[in-house]
Amino acid sequence: MIGSSKLRATCGTVCLLAGTIATAQPAPDAAKADEAYQAEQWAEAAEAYETIAGVEPSNARAWFRLGVSRRETGEYAAAIEAFEQARSAGVPPSLIDYEIVKARAQNGEEDAAYAALEATVAAGFANYQGLESDEALAGLRSRPGFAALVDRTKRNAMPCEYDPKHREFDFWIGEWDVADASGTPQGENSITKQESGCVLVEKWTSLGGSGGMSINFYDPGMQQWVQQWVSANGGFINIVGGVEDGSMVLVGTINGPGQAAPRLPFRGTWTPLDDGRVRQFFEQSNDGGKTWAPWFEGFYARKSAE
């Protein structure tokens, strides 16, 4: 016979478990919610994500998509509330703030929306495409300062394109035929701007078919330009510097291929010429930088447009 105390304990455990099972909600169907969201069936999506968020209050994605769905159904106050819940659950502020701007604009709160947009852009918002095309912001585009906000957003998205220090080597960008001082062809070089202007990529092919490439970028921490070059035969050049008297001058070291190759002082100078060409002059030192000897001189002429 079970003692009364053990019976009470057993009953308590069983009753608690039974109560938990009785009150538990079925797992929400995220796939159906996502399907409705992708199909822009906003009312169905809102209902589904509201269920998910109720069961999983830390589900940032559900709160965010609930906000979007509520906004699309015209429930702007409810949308803003859902976006704030998404913020608390960890969605980046830049995403949340922009969605709230759109909700306020669509709700006719244009002054509040514009003030919020200014704050969002000042905080680093970078989606300039959205500012230019999002229908929710149509009522704000006629404001005198809107074009300046778009420009600021572009600067947030592509800071290197707008920073003069990152543009100092732009004269080297292009497709070039390279010859020596006598005019004898040496090869061709392609210099392209990539990563929204934050890096220049060089791809060199010599007349004999060998090649190499480099990346070139301005390091704000060092306040210097950096070139890192590697050739097809395993040689390396690592040089840094900046503009001196109108030329880009980079100094560092060169390593020939193989572990036994010495590391020697190396200097490169790029000078834009009045006729549109660029002179590239490399020097190497064999005495620790006391004296320098020419290593390569090339004159860049832009390829003719075909």
**pLDDT tens, position by position, 90-144:** 999 989 999 999 999 999 999 999 999 999 999 999 999 999 999 999 999 999 9
Name the amino acid, one letter, at 42: W
Residues paired with 203 in a beta bridge: 190, 213
**Judgement on whether residues 225 and 140 belong to the same structural domain of the protein:** no
Q: What pLDDT shows up at residue 162? A: 96
Least confident of 4-13, 121-130, 243-252: 4-13
* Domain match, 27 and 144 both: yes
Are 190 and 254 within one domain?
yes
Same domain, 175 and 88: no
Mean pLDDT of 180-198: 97
The pLDDT of residue 262: 86
Mean pLDDT on 78-96: 95
Structural tokens at position 99? 């969605």
The confidence band for 256, taking pLDDT boundaries of 50, 70 and 90, is confident
Nearest-10 crossing angle of helices 42-55, 30-38: 150
Q: Is the pLDDT of residue 11 over 90?
A: no
* Residue at a domain's end among 147, 162, 177: 162
Q: Check residue 17 and report its DSSP letter.
A: H
Residue range(s) defining the domain that contains residue 230: 165-302
Q: State the average pLDDT for the chain.
A: 90
Q: Which residues are within 8 A (CB) of 253 and not within 5 positions of it... i.e. 6 or more apart?
A: 237, 238, 239, 263, 264, 265, 266
Chain-centre distance for alpha carbon 292: 41
Contact 248, 269 (CB under 8 A): yes
Where b means 16+ CB within 10 Å and e means fewer, 31-64 reads eebeebbeeeebebbbebbbbbbeebeebbbbbb
Which carries the bigger pLDDT value, residue 306 or residue 92? 92
pLDDT at 20 over 60: no
Residue 3 has phi, psi (to 5 degrees) of -65, 155
- CA–CA separation, 70 and 220 (whole Å): 43
CATH of the domain at 182: 2.40.128.20
Res 16 pLDDT > 50: no
Identify the CATH number of the domain in which residue 90 sits. 1.25.40.10
Cα distance between residue 152 and residue 129, in whole Å: 12
Q: Is the pLDDT of residue 3 over 80?
A: no
Could you please report the per-residue DSSP string of 88-150?
HTT--HHHHHHHHHHHHHHTT-HHHHHHHHHHHHHTT---HHHHHH-GGGGGGTTSTTHHHHH
